């Protein structure tokens, strides 16, 4: 059997944080060896257009995210790394998918419901966001989509869209599946009931944060709980981070202390902060170095775009033929 194709994207809407790293990016880095030559990873700049204020800084975010993805360990020799905007064919496929997907399917997306509740005006782009995502995945023949938990629904919708399309125009697309890590939902430091996100101030540790910033944020992490008998969500979240970045013996020591109630959260926080700081030190250095030569980053992405575009054009030829265009 031919090896599966991996596709995923991330919006250039801000810096990479520990949630996105543990939920998605670290997985991308791990997959690039096993699926060498079969991974398509990109910055989702068309998607980012939905938020005008953030999008005003898109060019800067794109370069920074480019540096961060490379600094995190993605190797353009093994994968196809590019900006979504450099493959405009996805917008054509998105339109075609718009003609087979019922609006009710889009209206029930959790992310659409959350975002449209808060938006003054609900633009069609917000509703069609996952249709473009489906086009992103299917145009490269994606079988597996490494994302965090919040994106599962969009991948399931991609399966629906592939099926609707195949039913109407004949077998064209395979139905992709999400690929999750064991840390697919890292929680906010300050609101541990909500997922860590760059849109909640103080919620996220960014990979590029300075040691002082990391320590300050982790020290402020909420550890209190409303329920008495179970581990508070914020403490569980700290333990999850600890387990990812610290040595097992040390994690166990704190777990024992938690069990016999001798734990001091200030010590737990300092230990978690120490390991986060140490773990991301090489990342911070590589990122800074890469950002000294933004043109080089751009070159890497342009080379990736050539390959991605060739694949996208191949798919679109098939798609157009199916339609009779
Ligand atoms: P944000 O919600 O902060 O804007 P993104 O939308 O840029 O994050 O997410 C990029 C990738 O990281 C997606 O695959 C997403 O599912 C994953 N991700 C984001 N936040 C988390 C989190 N808190 N835990 C696990 N994965 C996450
Ligand atoms: N919607 C994804 C997010 O917010 C980003 C994304 C765009 C994506 N296109 C994609 C993820 C295709 C996986 C596959 O994180």
- CATH, range 6-185+293-323: 3.40.50.620
Identify the CA nearest to 172 among candidates 181, 183, 180, 164: 164
Distance from C-alpha of 180 to C-alpha of 196, rounded to nearest angstrom: 16
Q: State yes or no: is 115 an active-site residue.
A: yes
Distance from C-alpha of 242 to C-alpha of 135, rounded to nearest angstrom: 37
Neighbouring C-beta atoms of residue 115, cutoff 10 Å: 16
HSE-CB of 26 using CA atoms within 13 angstroms: 19
Query: Taking a C-beta distance cutoff of 8 angstroms, is the pair 316, 135 a contact?
Result: no
SS (H, E, C) the chain: CCCCCEEEEECCCCCCEHHHHHHHHHHHHHHHHHCCCCEEEEECHHHHCCCHHHHCCHHHHHHHHHHHHHHCCCCCCCCEEEEHHHCCHHHHHHHHHHCCCCHHHHHCCHHHHHHHHHCCCCCHHHHHHHHHHHHHHHHCCCCEEECCHHHHHHHHHHHHHHHHHHHHHCCCCCCCEEECCCCCCCECCCCCCCECCCCCCCCCCECCCCHHHHHHHHHCCCCCCCCCCCCCHHHHHHHHHHHHHCCHHHHHHHHHHHHCCCCCHHHHHHHHHHHHHHHCHHHHHHHHHHHCCHHHHHHHHHHHHHHHHHHHHHHHHHHHHHHCC
How far the first Cα of the chain sits from its last, in Å, is: 32
9 lines ligand 2 (CB under 6 A): yes
Domain map (residue ranges) of the chain: 6-185+293-323, 187-292
pLDDT at 183: 97
Query: Taking a C-beta distance cutoff of 8 angstroms, is the pair 62, 85 a contact?
Result: no
Looking from the CA of residue 187, the nearest atom of ligand 1 is 23
pLDDT at 226: 61
For ligand 1, atom 14, which residue shows the shortest CA distance?
Answer: 147
10 lines ligand 2 (CB under 6 A): yes
Query: Taking a C-beta distance cutoff of 8 angstroms, is the pair 38, 23 a contact?
Result: no
Nearest-5° angle of CA 71, CA 64, CA 111?
100
Looking from the CA of residue 17, the nearest atom of ligand 1 is 3
pTM, full prediction: 0.97
Q: Which of 78, 177, 198, 322 is catalytic?
A: 198
What residues contact residue 204 under an 8 Å CB cut-off, 6+ apart? 17, 18, 19, 188, 189, 196, 197, 198, 217
pLDDT at 1: 66
Q: What is the mean pLDDT of the chain?
A: 97
pLDDT at 228: 65
16 lines ligand 2 (CB under 6 A): no
Domain made up of 187-292: CATH architecture: Orthogonal Bundle (1.10)
pLDDT tens sequence for the chain (325 residues): 678 999 999 999 999 999 999 999 999 999 999 999 999 999 999 999 999 999 999 999 999 999 999 999 999 999 999 999 999 999 999 999 999 999 999 999 999 999 999 999 999 999 999 999 999 999 999 999 999 999 999 999 999 999 999 999 999 999 999 999 999 999 999 999 999 999 899 999 999 999 999 999 999 999 987 666 789 999 999 999 999 999 999 999 999 999 999 999 999 999 999 999 999 999 999 999 999 999 999 999 999 999 999 999 999 999 999 999 9
Pocket of ligand 1 (CB under 6 A): 10-11, 13, 17, 19-20, 22-24, 147-148, 150-151, 184-186, 195-199
Distance from C-alpha of 244 to C-alpha of 163, rounded to nearest angstrom: 38
Distance 130 CA to ligand 2 centre (A): 8
Task: Pick from 6, 10, 20 the residue to mutate for probing ligand 1's pocket: most ligand atoms within 8 Å of its CB.
Answer: 20
Q: State yes or no: is 195 an active-site residue.
A: yes
């Amino acid at each position: 059997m031919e090896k599966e194709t991996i596709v995923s994207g991330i919006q250039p809407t801000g810096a990479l944080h520990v949630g996105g790293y543990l939920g998605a990016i670290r997985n991308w880095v791990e997959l690039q060896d096993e699926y060498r030559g079969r991974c398509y990873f990109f910055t989702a700049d068309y998607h980012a257009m939905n938020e005008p204020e953030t999008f005003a800084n898109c060019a800067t975010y794109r370069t920074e995210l480019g540096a961060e993805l490379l600094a995190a360990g993605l190797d353009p020799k093994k994968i196809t790394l590019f900006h979504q905007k450099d493959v405009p064919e996805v917008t054509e496929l998105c339109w075609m998918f718009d003609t087979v997907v019922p609006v009710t399917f889009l209206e029930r997306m959790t992310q659409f419901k959350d975002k449209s509740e808060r938006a003054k005006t609900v633009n069609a782009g917000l509703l069609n966001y996952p249709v473009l995502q489906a086009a992103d995945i299917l145009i490269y023949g994606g079988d597996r989509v490494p994302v965090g938990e919040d994106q599962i629904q969009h991948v399931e919708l991609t399966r629906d869209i592939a099926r609707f399309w195949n039913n109407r125009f004949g077998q064209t697309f395979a139905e992709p599946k999400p690929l999750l890590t064991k840390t697919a939902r890292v929680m906010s430091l300050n609101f541990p009931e909500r997922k860590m996100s760059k849109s909640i101030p103080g919620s996220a540790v960014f990979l590029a944060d300075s040691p002082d910033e990391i320590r300050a944020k982790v020290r402020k992490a909420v550890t209190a709980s409303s329920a008495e008998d179970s581990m508070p969500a914020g403490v569980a979240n700290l333990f999850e981070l600890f387990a990812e970045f610290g040595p097992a013996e040390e994690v166990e020591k704190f777990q024992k202390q938690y069990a016999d109630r001798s734990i001091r959260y200030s010590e737990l926080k300092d230990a978690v902060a120490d390991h986060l700081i140490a773990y991301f030190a090489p990342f911070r250095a590589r990122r800074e170095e890469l950002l000294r030569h933004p043109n080089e980053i751009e070159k890497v992405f342009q080379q990736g775009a050539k390959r991605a575009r060739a694949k996208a054009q191949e798919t679109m030829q098939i798609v157009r033929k199916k339609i009779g265009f």
